[in-house]
Amino acid sequence: MSQRVKRVVFTKEMKKEYTILVPTMLPMHFEIICRILNKNGYKAEILKNSGDHIKKLGLQYVHNDTCYPALIVIGQFLDALNSGKYDLKKVALLITQTGGGCRASNYLSLLRKALAKAGYDYIPVISLNFVGMEDSPGFKLTLPLLQKMLYAVIFGDLLMLLLNQCRSYEKVAGESRKKADIWTERLAKMLSEGFVSYSEVKKTYVEILKDFESVERTKEEKIRVGIVGEIFVKFSPLGNNNLEDFLVSEDVEVVMPGLLDFLLYCVYNTIVDTKLYGLHKLKAVGASVLDKYIVGKQKDLIEIIKQNSSFRPMTAFDHTRTLTKGYIGLGAKMGEGWLLTAEMLELVEQGVNNIVCAQPFGCLPNHIMGKGMMKPIKERHEGVSIVAIDYDPGATRINQENRIKLMLANAKAAKSPANVGAV
């Protein structure tokens, strides 16, 4: 019987000198957030180490039946600790938790067990959560700090949307990526230095849009491919074998719902709990106010995109959550839950008929809300193609890419002039 690993608490004293390592997921979003944290007394650093050795290292310390994202994140942490780059007596690890009913809720215990096995049991692990799972005295998020982090998520989603709508069409290779990197730096500086008014945020939206409008693009119509799935393998280049880059290399446009939708999904589930089960009545009042506040910010951005650019805006979340009616109930909220189904339907509504559902092998929520919903979606929407791609230590990149290539070959064949109008 395994011995329980003792928790090392991240204290107020540690905040002054400890470097907090943050795993890779959304590079632009996380870079801005880390810079905000650093201007608020922390020393946060987003990890950029990558390679197959991280997966192999994770396998040494995590059971291969455990959730693939946990294996990758733990492998990346251990690789960073083994690198010699950090003072191991003054380093801490940060990991997010939603507290939902899936294996992700066990990441902290899995990470601590792996650290103990590797001889790093003295390193504190910080849980970033909003459901009271764990508290770290040295890591406190104030309301002004949370507001700036929210702006970072919205700005990150905007940059991701513009980058995806530009880079498959740009006449000068790499121009849109360069602009995205420049804006990531500018936004990190803006949000980390003092008070930022909402009028300044909206003004910056317009500046970003105008800058990306200046990217010279071809007028050709390309196949659009949506990406949905488990949050880590959907967003993280490390977790999905650089899926976005692969799709761009296949001459298609990538379409991906943003991180803000997942945050709103978590907030809205508190409201749903009250409606379905009578739970969290007081919390639901606060969640309703927060939901209205964030959705309002999202709608402002959508309107600014429409008025100031030729780019297609994201879908407002209060519409996205209505799309599951007749498919799946809002009580199905393990992992990505009903949001996964809603995002597939959102993409179909936008005319994105080819979708990659990225999921860890054996991820029950994804197999139900993702893979399980593919048949009814395709039956009700003619011409829609959805391929489920499993990410797992035993899955090879070539097999993953070949399955996607088959979907793209069918999409290109259907688009060819010979097949247009064919019965």
**Can you give the pLDDT at residue 417?**
57
Q: Is 211 inside any structural domain?
A: no
**Can you give the pLDDT at residue 369?**
87
Contact present, 48 and 24 (Cβ < 8 Å): yes
**Can you give the pLDDT at residue 423?**
32
Q: Is 123 inside any structural domain?
A: yes
Q: What is the pTM of this model?
A: 0.94
Contact present, 244 and 227 (Cβ < 8 Å): yes
**Can you give the pLDDT at residue 1?**
38
Contact present, 160 and 227 (Cβ < 8 Å): no
| CATH number, domain with residue 237 | 3.40.50.11900
Query: Which range marks the domain in which residue 131 is found?
Result: 12-140
CB atoms within 10 A of CB 310: 11
Contact present, 125 and 115 (Cβ < 8 Å): yes
Q: Do residues 234 and 125 share a domain? A: no
Mean pLDDT, contiguous 10-residue spans, the chain (423 residues): 75 95 95 95 95 93 86 96 97 86 76 95 91 86 94 98 98 97 98 93 98 96 96 94 96 97 94 90 93 98 98 97 95 91 97 95 82 94 95 90 96 70 38
Domain boundary pick from 140, 169, 204: 140
Distance (Å, rounded) from C-alpha 10 to C-alpha 14? Answer: 6
Query: How many domains would you assign to the chain?
Result: 2
Q: What are phi and psi of 193, to 5 degrees?
A: -115, 95
**Can you give the pLDDT at residue 420?**
43
Q: Is 268 inside any structural domain?
A: no
DSSP characters over 205-271: HHHHHHHHHTS-B------EEEEEESHHHHH-TTTTTSHHHHHHHTT-EEE---HHHHHHHHHHHHH
Q: Do residues 110 and 252 share a domain? A: no
Domain boundary pick from 79, 114, 140: 140
Distance (Å, rounded) from C-alpha 45 to C-alpha 48? Answer: 9
63 class by beta-carbon count within 10 Å (0-12 exposed, 13-18 middle, 19+ buried): exposed
